[in-house]
Structure 1
Amino acid sequence: MHRSGLIELEVVMAVVRRGSFRAAAQEMGMSATAVSSAVAGLETRLQARLFNRTTRSVALTEAGQQFVARIGPALIEIRHASEEINSNSAEPVGTLRINAPPESGALFFERIIVPYMQRYPQMKVEIASQAKLIDIVAEGFDAGIRLAENIPQDMIAVPLTGDLRLIVVGSPAYLARHGTPNAPEDLRHHQGICMRLSNGSLYRWELERKGELFEADIPPRLVISDVRAGLAAALAGLGLAFITETHARADIAAGRLVAVLDEWCQPFGGLCLYYPGHRHVPAGIKALVAMIREEAKLTL
């Protein structure tokens, strides 16, 4: 491999993580031209195109997918080998790359990540938000954050939150105009603030009571892909929203929102940090896991 090959591999993985050459350049502290040149140089030596590039998108080719699947774990091992020297030191040193669902930061960022970085000033943290499930090892992440039910069985999982619950909420003004639904069937007569999933489909509101399942059919008045936008729309009286209870709790307590069909909104397994357990665990992850468990004991 050319002596600059390692940085070229890191550039390729940064483009995969960020989804664009410009964002990868910001992550790597390089110019967009340098990132493009690094990828082009590697493609020339490999005699294979790694990315399909247009003015609007960057996507791995089939050859690129195969290449990334092989180099992702290898680069993590190289990085961990460097960090292992510090594994027994008083403070971990290095960078943690974490993959997490969009809008999940409100559930853990201020409570876990901020104090972690304050305690360990030599650690850097990069959090990439992606809705789709990915192979964190193949794509160069040290750890991921997902719902417990979505974590691969070969990973070590550490609970970040307790059980979560999606609830149906509306503003008092909206309910005064349109009435309060008393059963899931009533939702078809209401206006919905609905979420668009990463695959393009609308998220179906799944309700449950005493083992009885119901997929609500609510006409969407507004379709969004951002939880905060959905919350703002519900507060503005535009319709009913199906939203994480944690996000709506303060507005419910203040009377700005009202929860309806409460008995049909059941809890489910919460978010977990997860990481590979079959290889050396870097000091940075060990310290993060210790802080998560420490925080959990304090809140019991």
Structure 2
Amino acid sequence: MLAAELGELATFLAVAKHCSFSKAAVERGVASSAVSHSVRSLEERVGVRLLHRTTRSVSLTDAGERFVSELSPAFEQIGRALDGLNAFRGTPFGLVRITVPTSIAPYVLRDVLGPLISKNPGLQLDIETSDRLVDIAKEGFDAGIRFGERLSQDMVAVRIKSKLRFAVVGSPEYLRGRQLPQIPADLQNHACIRYRFPSGAIYNWAFERNGETLSVEVNGPMITDGQELMVEAALQGCGLAYVWDDRVQDELRSGRLIRCLDDWCRTDDDLFIYYPSRRYVSAGLRALIDKLRA
């Protein structure tokens, strides 16, 4: 089979998985027009329509569904065979696509990226940072990083980091002349910088002490979907922010931010890298997992 024909088949499988030409183009690293041309060429060559297309949707025909069911195992076998060459190559090779929450990506990956890439020059990382819940199998990712409480049971999960802690912080300028909150209820007397999930829901600040848990609906002059901007707003005296402790270590050490409600700030669940249980683990993904665990 010619390489061009294999490329057409791989492109068709990407379109079938996403039911989208544009998403398949992102996965394949090509233009949407190239994906459309490749699928059209494949259909002309086999003489069968494989996809229904409208201006709003893409779906498989009956022939397309049968073709995918028979083609997918073959490509998985090809992937395993290619990955097996890593044993002779000496270092992991190829593309690894992962998704990581935006709010924690720098702190999970900061000690990993340089050593991993320098040790494995044939490895390419495609990292999407997003706080939305991602279906990694449907969207073509090799793996994702999330907290354990948000993982589905059909995933293989490898713990890479113990619980991450939150911190309530404010600038000296904001806190000057104000009483520091002593209990979460005191936040009702403070301006708070709120976080909005990708779903549109506003995060209620969650606290825990001695087995007691509280959820506080805070108010304030600003809502955002990014912790970077929350920290910047806190530094500029806009109010209190509730962010990852790791994110504000430098600011706390320098005194640019002050910690509040320290004994109430909770920890989130353990952090995991996860991937579909039915999927083989490439040498590149295995190298990433090992580095994250280390």
TM range (shorter): 0.7 to 0.9
Give, in angstroms, the shift of residue 139 of structure 1: 2.6
- For residues 230-269 of structure 1, what are the structure 2 equivalents within 5 Å? 230-269=230-269
How far apart, in 1, do the equivalents of 2:42 and 2:195 lie?
40
Report the counterpart of residue 182 of structure 1 in structure 2.
182
How far apart, in 1, do the equivalents of 2:79 and 2:55 lie?
24
Report the counterpart of residue 173 of structure 2 in structure 1.
173
Report the counterpart of residue 140 of structure 1 in structure 2.
140
Q: Note if contact 2:132-2:197 (Cα within 8 Å) is conserved in structure 1.
A: no
Distance 1:250 1:84, change over 3 A: same
Q: Note if contact 2:97-2:143 (Cα within 8 Å) is conserved in structure 1.
A: yes
How far apart, in 2, do the equivalents of 1:39 and 1:191 lie?
55
Q: How many residues align?
A: 281
How far apart, in 2, do the equivalents of 1:128 and 1:9 lie?
23
Distance 1:240 1:280, change over 3 A: same
Percent sequence identity is 33
For the residue of structure 1 that corresponds to 2:33, the secondary structure is helix
Q: Which amino acid aligns with 2:284?
A: G
Report the counterpart of residue 118 of structure 1 in structure 2.
118
Q: Which moved more, 1:263-272 or 1:114-123?
A: 263-272
How far apart, in 1, do the equivalents of 2:81 and 2:251 lie?
48
Q: Which runs of 5+ in 2 are unaligned?
A: none
Report the counterpart of residue 219 of structure 2 in structure 1.
219
Q: Which amino acid aligns with 2:103?
A: E
Q: Which moved more, 1:133-142 or 1:184-193?
A: 133-142
Q: Note if contact 1:75-1:140 (Cα within 8 Å) is conserved in structure 2.
A: no
Q: Note if contact 2:196-2:224 (Cα within 8 Å) is conserved in structure 1.
A: yes
For the residue of structure 1 that corresponds to 2:49, the secondary structure is helix
How far apart, in 2, do the equivalents of 1:279 and 1:29 lie?
21
For the residue of structure 2 that corresponds to 1:106, the secondary structure is helix
Report the counterpart of residue 272 of structure 2 in structure 1.
272
Distance 1:268 1:86, change over 3 A: same
Report the counterpart of residue 48 of structure 1 in structure 2.
52
- CA displacement, residues 158-217 of structure 1 (integer Å, 9 cap, x when unaligned): 333232111111111101144311111111121111111011110111111111111112
How far apart, in 2, do the equivalents of 1:27 and 1:135 lie?
14
How far apart, in 2, do the equivalents of 1:40 and 1:195 lie?
45
Q: Which amino acid aligns with 1:5?
A: E
Q: Which amino acid aligns with 1:103?
A: S
- For residues 177-216 of structure 1, what are the structure 2 equivalents within 5 Å? 177-216=177-216
Q: Which runs of 5+ in 1 are unaligned?
A: 53-59, 296-300
- CA displacement, residues 263-288 of structure 1 (integer Å, 9 cap, x when unaligned): 11122333221223454322112222
Q: Which moved more, 1:155-164 or 1:230-239?
A: 155-164
Distance 1:42 1:254, change over 3 A: farther
Distance 1:204 1:62, change over 3 A: farther
Q: Note if contact 1:86-1:92 (Cα within 8 Å) is conserved in structure 2.
A: yes
Give, in angstroms, the shift of residue 110 of structure 1: 2.2
**Is 1:8 matched with 2:7?**
no
TM-score by length of structure 1 reads 0.79
Distance 1:131 1:176, change over 3 A: same
Q: Note if contact 1:166-1:265 (Cα within 8 Å) is conserved in structure 2.
A: yes
Give, in angstroms, the shift of residue 28 of structure 1: 4.1
Q: Which amino acid aligns with 2:242?
A: F
For the residue of structure 1 that corresponds to 2:86, the secondary structure is coil
- CA displacement, residues 218-254 of structure 1 (integer Å, 9 cap, x when unaligned): 1131111111111100000001111000001110111
Report the counterpart of residue 153 of structure 1 in structure 2.
153
TM-score by length of structure 2 reads 0.81
- CA displacement, residues 102-153 of structure 1 (integer Å, 9 cap, x when unaligned): 2322122221122111110011111122323233223322111111222233
For the residue of structure 2 that corresponds to 1:132, the secondary structure is coil
Distance 1:229 1:73, change over 3 A: farther
